Amino acid sequence: MSTTTAKQPTSHAGPSTIVASTRLTLQQSQRLDEIAALWGCTRAEVFAKFLDASRTKEDLLAEIEQATFQRHAELPQARRYKLVVPWKGMIGINHYDYPRGTVLSRDLHGAELLQRLHEPHAALEPLPD
């Protein structure tokens, strides 16, 4: 009589991986391929490199967020906004100096100030409630 045993999964030396997918525009897909060719790696390795770099280089995330910020023609209705880039300037007789990442709220700062910041092109990103 013969017995069969279940084959144990093979363990890999590296960290375990998962499959993640994303939807890209044609231009984004072409750029992804350009970067992969430049670095001599696969598309998946390009994403992994960006993610690994973001873990050790915090300012990389800020640069990407700034470079991809889409300014709204009208200030979107929200209770709170985050400044994507630093903003320094005068509104009326008051001088403001806000670092990147500052959260401004309608309750604390007022709708008028937020609108006035938006008008000279402050990068305000609405935050979910």
Report pLDDT digits (tens) over 75-97. Answer: 888 899 999 988 888 888 888 89
Nearest-angstrom CA–CA distance, 70 and 80: 17
The set of residues, in sequence order, having a beta carbon less than 8 Å from that of 124 and lying 6+ positions away, is 75, 81, 82, 83, 84, 104, 114, 117, 118
- pLDDT score recorded for residue 14: 62
- pLDDT score recorded for residue 57: 81
- pLDDT score recorded for residue 2: 44
- pLDDT score recorded for residue 13: 56
Q: pLDDT under 50 in the chain at which residues?
A: 1-12
In single-letter form, the type of residue at position 103 comes to V
The helix (run of H) or strand (run of E) holding residue 11 is: none
Tell me the whole-structure pTM to 2 decimals: 0.63
Tens digits of residue pLDDT in 110-122: 888 888 888 877 8
In single-letter form, the type of residue at position 12 comes to H
Contact 46, 32 (CB under 8 A): yes
